[in-house]
Structure 1
Amino acid sequence: MQKSFSLDGLKVGDVAKISDLNSTELPSKFFEMGLLPGCMVEVMHKAPFNGPIGLHLLSTNNLIAIRKSEAVHILVEK
């Protein structure tokens, strides 16, 4: 069984499945954009100095950027 960890722990090029989200800490726009449990994401870019993380949502083919402070509330499994 895979262990869940936060999305900010992924490296560029990693693909993972979202297993859980802390919905009290994330804005509702994340759910509207397709960041839902079961969604596969690929890390496209990580900016230096705790900058934004660029994600490719494979299920909807969307490209989005989220803050690292928001990424810690999204749990993923490789």
Structure 2
Amino acid sequence: MHKSFSLDLLEVGEQATIRQLDSSELPSKFYEMGLLPGAVVKIKHKAPFNGPIGLQISSSNTLIAIRKSEALHIFVEK
């Protein structure tokens, strides 16, 4: 069994499955965009100096950018 870790630790090109979201720290729009447990995401871009993280949600082929502070509350598994 793999151990889950926060989304911000993934590198560009890596893919992982969302296992858990800290709903008390994230806005409801994340769920509406498809960031749900079981969704597969791939890191497309990471801006320098703790800037936004661009990710692709595989099920809907949606590209979104989230803050690193938000990515800390999304837990994934490879």
Pick the TM interval, shorter chain: over 0.9
Q: How many residues align?
A: 78
Match of 1:77? 77
- Whole-Å Cα distance in 2 between the matches of residues 36 and 60 of structure 1? 12
- Whole-Å Cα distance in 2 between the matches of residues 53 and 30 of structure 1? 14
Match of 2:3? 3
- Whole-Å Cα distance in 2 between the matches of residues 60 and 71 of structure 1? 19
Q: % of aligned pairs identical?
A: 71
Match of 1:50? 50
- Whole-Å Cα distance in 2 between the matches of residues 44 and 52 of structure 1? 11
Q: With the length of structure 1 as denominator, give the TM-score of the two structures.
A: 0.99
Match of 2:22? 22
Q: With the length of structure 2 as denominator, give the TM-score of the two structures.
A: 0.99
- Whole-Å Cα distance in 2 between the matches of residues 19 and 29 of structure 1? 18
Structure 1: runs of 5+ lacking an equivalent: none
Cα displacement (A) at 1:38: 0.1
Match of 2:65? 65
